[in-house]
């Protein structure tokens, strides 16, 4: 019995701007036509890159890394735990890499400090989150240290915001605004008073649970004066 062979339908390749450009070149398209097709190709590639970025980010968030608090901060009656920048960055970098994702920061200063965290996909699409804050001049920091402190703080929070993650139990948000510390004049007054009453400054700092006198919150100043006066 003779079997009839039914020809398979020809499977056509998907039409893309690049395939249209190839056809246009074969047909002798002019420069204007090719330029428009190239622009269309660029938009198409950008759209494909954005789709790939969204898929990769969703896959990353489907199994997010656990970020533990690895640093304790304590001075006086203030105490909190948080995840340091290097710890956050290392954990997120390792979790992103299998999905073709990475990140970087842009920093600018115009009065205040602005930090942008840019999430990037290997196909070229990127998105950013920006936060701005004044330089952290608490604790008698110099200008460079004040800027560096704010940059570090904003780098950590822009990265967490951009990835939609949070450090487990991270509670230093309540300390986002640094506590106001004593003024230079108050600092000098305490130093002079301590010298006058022959107070042991190490024991004095230990009593207030401070590493340095210039870290003393302004609200403690009156209590510190009374404690020194009691040594007379």
Task: Name the DSSP letter for residue 180.
Answer: P
Kindly indicate the confidence band of residue 167, based on its pLDDT and cuts at 50, 70 and 90.
low
What share of the chain in percent tops pLDDT 90?
27
Per-domain residue ranges of the chain: 17-62, 71-175, 184-229
CA 180 vs CA 140, 197, 220: distances in Å:
10, 27, 10
User: What's residue 122's pLDDT?
Assistant: 96
Using one digit for the tens of pLDDT, what is the confidence trace for 63-91?
999 888 777 665 555 555 677 889 899 99
pTM greater than 0.85 (yes/no)? no
Take residue 146 and report the two structure tokens written for it. Answer: 């004040």
Write down the mean pLDDT value for the chain.
Answer: 80
Does residue 222 surpass a pLDDT of 50?
yes
Closest alpha carbon to 43 in 63, 60, 18, 24: 18
DSSP string, 51-79: HHHHHHHHHHHHSPPP----EEEEETTEE
| C-alpha dihedral, 220 to 223 to 227 to 232, nearest 10° | 120
112-121 vs 101-110, strand pairing mode? antiparallel
- Give the separation between CA 228 and CA 199, rounded to whole angstroms: 7
The angle formed by the CA atoms of residues 198, 199 and 205, to the nearest 5 degrees, is 155
Take residue 97 and report the two structure tokens written for it. Answer: 């890499």
Taking the CB of residue 96, how many other CB atoms lie within 10 A of it? 20
CA 28 vs CA 21, 24, 136: distances in Å:
10, 6, 63
CB 193 within 8 A of CB 157: no
Using one digit for the tens of pLDDT, what is the confidence trace for 103-161?
999 999 988 999 999 999 999 999 999 999 888 877 667 888 888 888 998 999 899 88
Take residue 98 and report the two structure tokens written for it. Answer: 């299998």
Using one digit for the tens of pLDDT, what is the confidence trace for 8-46?
455 455 667 666 667 766 766 676 776 776 787 788 888
User: What's residue 114's pLDDT?
Assistant: 94
- Give the separation between CA 221 and CA 227, rounded to whole angstroms: 10
Beta bridge partners of 18: none
């Amino acid at each position: 019995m003779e079997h009839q062979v039914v020809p398979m339908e020809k499977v056509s390749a998907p039409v893309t701007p690049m395939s249209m450009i190839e056809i246009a070149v074969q047909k002798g398209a002019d420069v204007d036509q090719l330029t428009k097709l190239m622009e269309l190709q660029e938009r198409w590639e950008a759209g494909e890159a954005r789709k790939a970025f969204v898929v990769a980010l969703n896959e990353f968030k489907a199994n997010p890394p656990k970020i533990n608090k690895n640093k304790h901060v304590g001075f006086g009656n203030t105490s909190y735990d948080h995840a340091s920048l290097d710890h956050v960055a290392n954990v997120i970098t390792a979790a992103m890499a299998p999905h073709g994702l990475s990140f970087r920061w842009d920093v600018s200063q115009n009065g205040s400090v602005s930090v942008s965290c840019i999430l990037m996909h290997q196909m070229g699409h990127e998105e950013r989150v920006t936060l701005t804050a004044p330089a952290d001049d608490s604790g008698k920091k110099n200008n460079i240290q004040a800027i560096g402190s704010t940059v570090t703080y904003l780098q950590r929070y822009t990265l967490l915001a951009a990835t939609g993650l949070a450090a487990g139990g991270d509670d230093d948000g309540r300390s986002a605004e640094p506590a106001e510390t004593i003024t230079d004049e108050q600092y000098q007054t305490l130093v002079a008073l301590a010298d006058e009453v022959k107070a042991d400054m190490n024991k004095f700092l230990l009593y207030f649970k401070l590493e340095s006198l210039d870290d003393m919150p302004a609200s403690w100043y009156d209590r510190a004066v009374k404690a020194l006066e009691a040594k007379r």
